[in-house]
Structure 1
């Protein structure tokens, strides 16, 4: 019979060799610290060189600050937001959203500024 041609081994497993896996998608990390005052750090990762747009919005959905609108190389990027709008005025305490837009799509997260 065919069944006798197989042997069941206990504790048998498959082990994958550690190797480098390139980033396939872009990602957006939570800002740190959060809540923050007066500055916060935003990190994101890109799989390849591409054009990105990172902006901050208030709780009404109005864009208040463009942090970057550039073509960046693949890898990890860090941007610090100082709690000011596009004309350099300090924004008041509150809930804000930061949004990363690439050709692959968009990701956003919440952050809180406490003055």
Structure 2
């Protein structure tokens, strides 16, 4: 079991603001995530997620519940599903989500497979401490840079990725040395021929 907790300094004392409790199976897969938040001067249940995996450690099912009037009720939740032995993640929302996988054998690497559109994914994990993964996809060969900003608009880290072929890529961000809080990360991708320009920004939370 792993506990992730956020506290605020209030009236000369640390006060619990919210908490996530994770449980794992023997392979290290997350099987439950229980969230609690501060209400009426105490932490109270908020939501709970259940995950199921296949023999290859791919997430195949998720169930979401909220704490309502003293009982767990099926509600829409936000899942982070892992697959490929937890090397990759994707996010989706729903009450009960079932996933199937199709195995395609090919002689090219993942990054040589064509992406249909430019995209910047939500980092995972989020909140994080101190490392997280930022994923992006390119439908054309492009020059790429990724920048991380604090809420004052100051750049705290820049990844000059250079020219990248069509495909999906991961960037590992380490927030060690930075203060807890909200950070923004943005991508600027320009196709080699200069005809396509993609920009996007997302928010992430560093908690220590």
Q: Please say whether Structure 1 and Structure 2 have the same fold, judged by a TM-score greater than 0.5.
A: yes
Give the structure 2 partner of residue 97 of structure 1. 184
Structure 1: gaps spanning 5 or more residues: 1-21, 85-89
Cα shift at 1:50: 1.0
Written as runs of structure 1 = structure 2, the 5 A alignment for 1:34-113 is 34-84=126-176, 90-103=177-190, 104-113=197-206
Q: How many corresponding residue pairs?
A: 89
Output the aligned Cα RMSD.
Answer: 1.3
Provide runs of 4+ in structure 1 moved above 2 Å: 22-25
- Maintained 8 Å contact 1:67/1:81: no
For 2:122 and 2:141, how far apart are their aligned partners in 1? Answer: 22
- Maintained 8 Å contact 2:151/2:182: yes
Query: CA offsets, 1:53-112, max 9 Å, x none?
Result: 10100011111100234111110000110115xxxxx11111000000012131010000
Kindly indicate which of the two structures has a greater share of residues assigned to strand. Answer: 2
For 2:163 and 2:181, how far apart are their aligned partners in 1? Answer: 30
For normalisation by structure 1, the TM-score amounts to 0.72
Structure 2: gaps spanning 5 or more residues: 1-113, 191-196
Cα shift at 1:45: 0.2
- Maintained 8 Å contact 1:97/1:111: yes
For normalisation by structure 2, the TM-score amounts to 0.41
